[in-house]
Amino acid sequence: MDHHMEELAWNAACLRLEDYLRAHAVEPRERLLALTLSILAEAKSAHDKLPGLTPLECTMRIASKKTDTWFSLLAGDPARAARARIAYFAGGRNDLFLEWPLPEDFVASIRSAGIEAGPALEFQSLIRRELDYGAMQDIARETWDRFSWGHVLSAFALWLAIFFAAWGIYLKFFQ
């Protein structure tokens, strides 16, 4: 990769990283720049060891890993990392993003945030009753049981034959 191409590749990585951090609500420019530069520096040194990756892939892997780790630490349990992420966004403390250690009250507020989509389940069965629909049901059932398209078609064919026979007789003998 020549120097110009490499510069373009790192430029793309930098832009993506900025977008990623802004998607995490890192809005103040100073903070955004500081985080971007720190992760980019880390990515550049890692890229030397992993030349198979593009600068963008390398940078975003590091950013993604850092973020996942930070949310897992914040949640205290990796299984609750997604909920910690929601609580972080709701908490409005974007100045603390990727910082460690964190203020205890912030960590406590994240861990205690109750984000439940439903109360505890208390299952019960709903039992469908058979309903008696009276005589109409019997009539309908008998009709369905006896109904067949074969019968309909044969009856239709029979009446068609009778009609044409009568028509033929009329034409032959009465006209």
Partner 1 sequence: MKPFCGTDSLKPDVISLRQALFLATGAGITICGILLMVAILRVDGFSVLEWVLLGLFVPLFGQIAFGFTIALWGFLILLAGGDRYQVMRTLPEPPAAGPVGATAIVLPVFNEDPDRTFRGLESMFRSVEATGAGGAFDFFVLSDSNDPDRWVEEETEWLRLCVKCQGFGRIFYRKRRVSLHGKSGNVADFCRRWGKRYQYLLVLDADSVMSGETILRLARVMDANPRAGIVQTSPQIVRGKSVLQRFVQFATRLVGPLFAAGSNFWHLGGGNYWGHNAIIRLKPFIEQCVLPEIPGHTAAARHILSHDTVEAALMHQAGYQVWFAYQEEGSYEEGPPNLTESLKRDRRWCQGNLQHFWFLFAPGTPFTNRIHIFFGLMAYLTAPLLVFFIGLSSWDSHVKQRFAVYVAEPWVPVSGVWTSGVLLALTLTLLFLPKLLGFLHLLPRTKEFGGVTRALLSTVLETLLSVLLAPVLLFFYTKFVVLTLLGLRVTWKTQNRDESSIPFGEALRTFGAPTLCGLAAGAAALVWSPTLLPWLSPVLAGLVLAIPTAMITSSEAVGGWLRKLGLLLIPEEASVPPVLRDLDCPAGEDAMAVSGVMQVAISPEVNALHSSLLRRSRARARHKADHLAGLRKRLIEEGPQGLARRELSALLWDAEAVELLHRDIWLSAEQDLHPWWRHALRHYNENTIRLDRRDFQGL
Residues that bind partner 1 (CB under 8 A): 12, 16, 19-20, 22-25, 54, 56-57, 60-61, 63-64, 67, 81-83, 85-87, 89-92, 109, 113-119, 121-137, 140-141, 144
Q: Which C-beta is closer to partner 1: that of 11 or that of 154?
A: 11
Residues 6+ away with beta carbon under 8 Å from 50: 58
Q: Which C-beta is closer to partner 1: that of 136 or that of 171?
A: 136
Please report how close the Cβ of residue 162 comes to partner 1 at its closest, in angstroms: 25
Please report how close the Cβ of residue 166 comes to partner 1 at its closest, in angstroms: 24
Q: Which C-beta is closer to partner 1: that of 36 or that of 67?
A: 67
Q: Token match 């909920």: residue?
A: 83
Q: Which two tokens stand for residue 107?
A: 């960590």
Cα–chain center distance at 49: 36
What is the distance between the alpha carbons of residues 147 and 86, in angstroms, rounded to a whole number?
Answer: 60
Rounded-to-5 percentages of helix, strand, coil across the chain: 70, 0, 30
Q: Which C-beta is closer to partner 1: that of 76 or that of 168?
A: 76
Please report how close the Cβ of residue 67 comes to partner 1 at its closest, in angstroms: 8
Q: Which C-beta is closer to partner 1: that of 27 or that of 159?
A: 27
Please report how close the Cβ of residue 86 comes to partner 1 at its closest, in angstroms: 5
Q: Which C-beta is closer to partner 1: that of 38 or that of 64?
A: 64
Q: Please provide the DSSP assignment of 60-87 as one string.
A: HHHHHHHHHHHHHHHHSSGGGHHHHHHH
Please report how close the Cβ of residue 33 comes to partner 1 at its closest, in angstroms: 15
Q: Token match 């430029």: residue?
A: 11
Instruction: Identify whether the C-beta of residue 54 lies closer than 8 Å to the C-beta of residue 9.
Output: yes
Please report how close the Cβ of residue 165 comes to partner 1 at its closest, in angstroms: 28
The phi and psi torsions of 98 (rounded to 5 degrees) equal: 65, 10
